Structure formats: C-alpha cells, structure tokens
Structure 1
Amino acid sequence: MALVDSNYRFLYVDVGCNGRVSDGGVFRGCSLQQSLEQKTANIPDPAPLSGTELLSPYTIVADEAFPLKEYILKPYSSHGLTKEQRIFNYRLSRARRVVENAFGILANRWRVFTTKIHLQPETVDKIVLACTVLHNVLRDQCGDGYTQLPSERDGPGEHGPTLAQAALPRSTNTTLQAKRNRDILCNYMCSDAGAVAWQWDKIESCVWV
C-alpha cells in the first residue's frame, strides 16, 4: 500500500502484509493510520477552497475499501446518488488516478513486478522499497522523461478512469464531521467556483447502476 503526491512520488509505502488482507485491513495496521489518528503526521491546517472562504481539511484520496474519516476522502455509495454526488465521485476518481498511474509507472519501469518473484518474502519487501526509492529519484531527476505518461491535463475529450470498488470493511466508523467535509466538497465541485466545464457532460454520458 502506498501514498503518493501529485507528481507520482511515493510519500509512504507499507510492504510485507499478506496479499489476502484487504486494503482497509492493511491500512488499519500500518504506522500511517496510527500517525493520522494521533495527529502526529504533520498534516497542514485546513485551507480555503480556491475562490471561496470555505475551509477544507487536507485529506487522503481513497476508494471504498477505506473508512470515511476527517483525513480520508472516499466516494459516496453507488446507490441512489444525486447528480451532485455523481459529480463528486467522478472528480474523486480522477484524483485517484494519480496513485494508479504511479503503480503503473513502477511496474512498467521495473519489470520484475510483472511476474512472480521467486525469493523469500523478506527479500521481496526490500526489492519493493528499493524500487520505490529509485522511482522517486528518477522522477525528480528526469521528470516526464521517466514517467512518459499521456498528458494529464483535464479536458472534455478525456475519459474518466475505470476503477474497481472494493468491499467496505465492517469496522468502518464514519464520523459526522467527515460526512460534512465530504458534502462541503461535493457542493463546491458543483458551484461556479469549483466546477469544471466538462464534468456535467461526463456524468450525462455515463451509465449508472
């Protein structure tokens, strides 16, 4: 499991957990979750949303495998969504594409990840950590020459990502404040200050079940 920034750099990596453990289970047992709960992760104070005076906390963008927290932003449930909530889910999925791309870059550049590694788990963990460090170094030194991704500029001609949604862990504890924070962002993304021109067409062209 990893946390990445908008430049595809790995900020935090957790390795060594058994593959059958869910993403939410891995997160609950990692040091990052503990740091976020204890407020020792040096997260900046809430900042105004662009074009408004509404304060919004810095959050980690995640999928439905993770609990909704004040520091974790996840999509609305896929049933009975309003148009505004579908807009929010679409915009959130675009943001989540960054981490998907980071893993894709890592696997394509270090092809050992495209096949089974016949080594002891402890050695595999070291390989993964070493590759993420090298990935960050090359990203810093070579920039787009290393990543060679298609343009990430938003535009009406781009298709939204298709991401599989994992099951929600039973132990999820959703706080009222976390729900309020998500609703504030949802409303902002549909306002004049926070909307992007093509988002309405994207939602209209999608088939929702």
Structure 2
Amino acid sequence: MWIDIAQKFSDKWDFTHCIGAVDGKQIVMKASPRSGSTFYNYKVTNSIVLMAIADADYRFIYIDVGCNDRASDVFGKSTFQKALDNNILRLPLPQPLLNRDRDCPYLLVADDAFRMQKLILKPYPGKNLTAGHRIFNYRLSRARRVVENVFGIMAKRFQILYRPIQLNEQKTTQITLACCTLHNFLINNTDAKRISQSELASGVVKSVCIT
C-alpha cells in the first residue's frame, strides 16, 4: 500500500517517496455548557480538530478527530505517531532517489506547524532561500496541498462543515467521522480525476479554513 501511495504522489505531484500529506482542520461547534474554555481556540470559536493524512487520490488514509489541541499536537498524541515511533507501520525500506546513490526514507509531508522529526518533511523556513530551496518548497507545497484539497472537497459535499455545528463535542465527532467515511466511499466509487478537476476548479480549496 505504501509503495502504491508513494508512486501516485510521484506520478501526480512530482514528489517522490511521499506516503501521505498531513494537516489539520478546525471543526467549529457549539460547546456544551460545562466545557468552559476546553474547546476554545485561537480563532475565538469552539472547535475540535480533525487531523488527517491523505493520499494522492484525495482519500483519507488516517484520521484522528475529537481533540481540542492544535493539529500538530494532535498528531504528536495520535496512534499514528505511536505507530511511527514503534516502527510497526511496515513502511518500505529506504531506497535511493532517481539517479542518486544515498538511501532516502519514505516520508509524510507537512507544513511549518508540525515539529520536525525523522519521517516528517517540512519546507525550508525563512525568506532568503536559495533557488534550490525555493524549488523544493514549491514542490513540497504541491504535494502537501492534497490534504487541504481533501478538506475542501469534503466540506463542499457536506456543507454542515461550512458553519458551526450546533451539537456537543461527542456528536460533532461522530458527524465528522461519518463525513470522512462517506467522503472516501464517494472517492472510491467515482472518477477521482473528474472530481479533482471539477470541484477544485470551483474554488473549493479557497473556501475552507485550514489550520
């Protein structure tokens, strides 16, 4: 499975050895009366976090939903992080890139919010970058935006995600899980290329707030 995912990222987004794009989305909701500031976030709303890893075909391959922390913190506490740390994901062994001799591991791509670690690749920071670093950041951004596109496609279909959900955190979590499951079902049973061209062209990504 990991090899297939990496090959799709290479074919579609010209980024090799990528096994997924990770990011988080705030799911705004109505907090329960006794929750206080537990779910109060920096955007001055109450929300839970949907932390997700997506493949190159706009499918979720892992989600963690219901936490009230930042997306990067949710990832650090997730079962996926534990599986990475304990080396139980059966990731493919590092291999050289094309026309290279040094082995390169298979990696997740993320934005600056995530902490740097062995199997997460982030863009080079700062503004005074070399041409090579700018090109790298551009290509990484193209691969990473897949997960933002997934959030956008899902919100376009299930427009309850466009507005605050008038339910408590438990029911909001259930609704979010259902939306993610139905999203994958629809992707698997529809032409993914047609979806990406038509729905993304309509400005889906711009209409969604990503953390």
- Report the TM-score when normalising by structure 1: 0.67
Contact kept, 8 Å, 1:64 with 1:165, in 2: the verdict is no
Compare the two structures and name the one with the higher strand fraction: 2
Counterpart Cα distance in 2 of 1:62 and 1:117: 27
Which SS does the other structure have where 2:114 is aligned? Answer: coil
Q: What residue is the counterpart of 1:111 in the other structure?
A: 159
Letter in 1 for 2:59: R
Q: Shift in Å at residue 51 of structure 1?
A: 4.1
Contact kept, 8 Å, 1:60 with 1:72, in 2: the verdict is yes
Q: What residue is the counterpart of 2:168 in the other structure?
A: 120
% same residue: 42
| Counterparts in 2 of 1:150 and 1:49: CA distance versus 1, 3 Å | farther
Superposed, which structure 2 residues align to 1:167-182 within 5 Å? Answer: none
Counterpart Cα distance in 1 of 2:210 and 2:73: 15
Letter in 2 for 1:13: I
Give RMSD over aligned pairs: 2.5
Q: Shift in Å at residue 17 of structure 1?
A: 1.0
Instruction: Tell me which of 14, 28, 53 is aligned to 2:64.
Output: 14
Which SS does the other structure have where 1:135 is aligned? Answer: helix
Counterpart Cα distance in 2 of 1:165 and 1:32: 21
Q: What residue is the counterpart of 2:129 in the other structure?
A: 81
Query: Which blocks of at least 5 consecutive residues in structure 2 are unaligned?
Result: 1-50, 201-205
Contact kept, 8 Å, 1:3 with 1:11, in 2: the verdict is yes
Letter in 1 for 2:88: T
Instruction: Tell me which of 100, 103, 109 is aligned to 1:55.
Output: 103
Superposed, which structure 2 residues align to 1:1-209 within 5 Å? Answer: 1-18=51-68, 21-144=69-192, 147-149=195-197
Counterpart Cα distance in 2 of 1:13 and 1:77: 27
Q: How many residue pairs get matched? A: 154
| Counterparts in 2 of 1:130 and 1:165: CA distance versus 1, 3 Å | closer
Contact kept, 8 Å, 1:10 with 1:136, in 2: the verdict is yes
Deviation string, structure 1 residues 3-42 (Cα, Å, up to 9, x no partner): 0000011011011111xx2222111111111111111122
Question: Which 4+ runs in 1 deviate beyond 6 A?
Answer: none
Contact kept, 8 Å, 2:148 with 2:210, in 1: the verdict is no
Q: What residue is the counterpart of 1:191 in the other structure?
A: none
Contact kept, 8 Å, 2:60 with 2:184, in 1: the verdict is yes
Counterpart Cα distance in 1 of 2:94 and 2:107: 9
Contact kept, 8 Å, 2:57 with 2:192, in 1: the verdict is no
- Report the TM-score when normalising by structure 2: 0.66
Query: Which blocks of at least 5 consecutive residues in structure 1 are unaligned?
Result: 153-160, 167-209
Counterpart Cα distance in 1 of 2:53 and 2:148: 11
Contact kept, 8 Å, 1:63 with 1:165, in 2: the verdict is no
Counterpart Cα distance in 2 of 1:112 and 1:101: 17
Counterpart Cα distance in 1 of 2:109 and 2:158: 25
Contact kept, 8 Å, 1:106 with 1:135, in 2: the verdict is yes
